[in-house]
Structure 1
């Protein structure tokens, strides 16, 4: 760490007290931020999945409350790929520890990330088989197109159509690449939404978790990718109606 880095705070955790957790959510903030950035997302997950454990780690690097998942604040394109790979490997080790601590397996685990946190989440679930059953990736500038993806994970890409920091065109590219790899992937684009954890995207993430049955659960799916791309208005997320009964997988 550099001289400006401060000691990494312990993760924030929400753990059920009446029974062992039924699921584990690991929720990652974006660059130059901290878990406060994802509190609305965490609240929505907690409401939809009250029996789950939710862990919100701080990025390992940075000063005060502005944490990052990579050590450099101004990496080159090549350095960014390498640093995200390192961060993904470190995150995978932490997730494995939390799974053992709370008695859950990969199928019961969802990794959720915003911006830089989503790039790290994708790296972790792409390179470690059975690490997670789901990954929800919000508004990220991906380090590189995936070279492979385990068929044991379902990926949900969620993006703002008006995002100028991480343009939605890149999410389309990642979605197309994952489809080529016969991955189980969905893409949701919310119009008029920029680089933010907008309520419409949060709502749609919960809908995906509650309604999208992984292809690995269908005996006749034969590994065919989920090619759905949904584009919708973000002006009134409540108009999409109430979510269906709770389910994660």
Structure 2
């Protein structure tokens, strides 16, 4: 397994797993402020920041999930697909280590980390209960909405690295596919995770009830109504 920093490990059984993935040229340290903010809100969560497995070939001293040398729209999906299996394997390792089921797992990624999280959820259904994409994008637009997975997108309208239009287009596609998602495009925000973004992540975690939970409630209500004798 790649290097990682465990930010919080509850003494008793963890109720959630929050696993963070940094962007290209950064390290597991980059995600610590977000992890610490989440730890304050979710004291019973197992929280870990994972290090990308390869040294960055464009930003010395940093790490990368996949190479960006010669990266184009034509080869983006292929490069990401090549590393998704190892990404999923690492996620499974932390689910087993923490004792947390996929439904109680939240996968958070920034930049390249967001791309891997989004694409992994396309490959493996039920990978996690929530996927959080921070300033990232799909390698290619999704062809289905992940089953029982809520997607949260956060993107700066002033992001000079990944244009916010990728967030808007992905959200539109997922809505058309019946997906469960939130999408926040933030004015004046660049390619970064600010205090405002951290607060929004917490707000979405706390305030957004997953669609499949609502569907189950509505289905149960309809069944009860159908079984109730008419006066």
TM-score (norm 1): 0.81
Please name the residue that 1:203 is paired with: 199
Please name the residue that 1:114 is paired with: 110
Gaps of 5+ in 2: 220-231
**Aligned counterparts of 2:110 and 2:86: Cα–Cα separation in 1:** 17
Matches for 1:79-158 after TM superposition, within 5 Å: 79-158=75-154
Aligned counterpart in structure 1 of residue 35 of structure 2, from 30, 39, 42: 42
Aligned counterpart in structure 2 of residue 164 of structure 1, from 151, 160, 184: 160
**Aligned counterparts of 1:93 and 1:222: Cα–Cα separation in 2:** 35
- CA shift, 1:74, in A, is 3.0
**Aligned counterparts of 1:60 and 1:79: Cα–Cα separation in 2:** 20
**Which protein has the larger Cα radius of gyration, Structure 1 or Structure 2?**
2
**Aligned counterparts of 1:219 and 1:140: Cα–Cα separation in 2:** 29
**Aligned counterparts of 1:141 and 1:184: Cα–Cα separation in 2:** 17
**Aligned counterparts of 1:89 and 1:103: Cα–Cα separation in 2:** 21
SS in 2 for 1:163: coil
Please name the residue that 1:175 is paired with: 171
Query: Would you say how many aligned residue pairs link Structure 1 and Structure 2?
Result: 216
More helix by percentage: 2
- CA shift, 1:62, in A, is 0.8
Is residue 15–residue 21 contact of structure 1 (8 Å, CA) maintained in 2?
no
Please name the residue that 1:62 is paired with: 55
Please name the residue that 2:212 is paired with: 216
Cα distance change, pair 95–75 in 1 and its aligned pair in 2 (3 A): same
Comparing 17-26 with 200-209, greater Cα deviation is found at 17-26
SS in 2 for 1:185: strand
Is residue 161–residue 192 contact of structure 1 (8 Å, CA) maintained in 2?
yes
What are the superposed Cα offsets for residues 142-180 of structure 1, whole Å, 9 maximum, x if unpaired? 311111222210000001111121111111000001111
- CA shift, 1:17, in A, is 4.2
Aligned counterpart in structure 2 of residue 14 of structure 1, from 7, 28, 32: 7
**Aligned counterparts of 2:176 and 2:203: Cα–Cα separation in 1:** 25
Please name the residue that 2:227 is paired with: none
**Aligned counterparts of 2:132 and 2:2: Cα–Cα separation in 1:** 24
TM-score (norm 2): 0.87
- CA shift, 1:214, in A, is 0.1
**Aligned counterparts of 1:221 and 1:167: Cα–Cα separation in 2:** 38
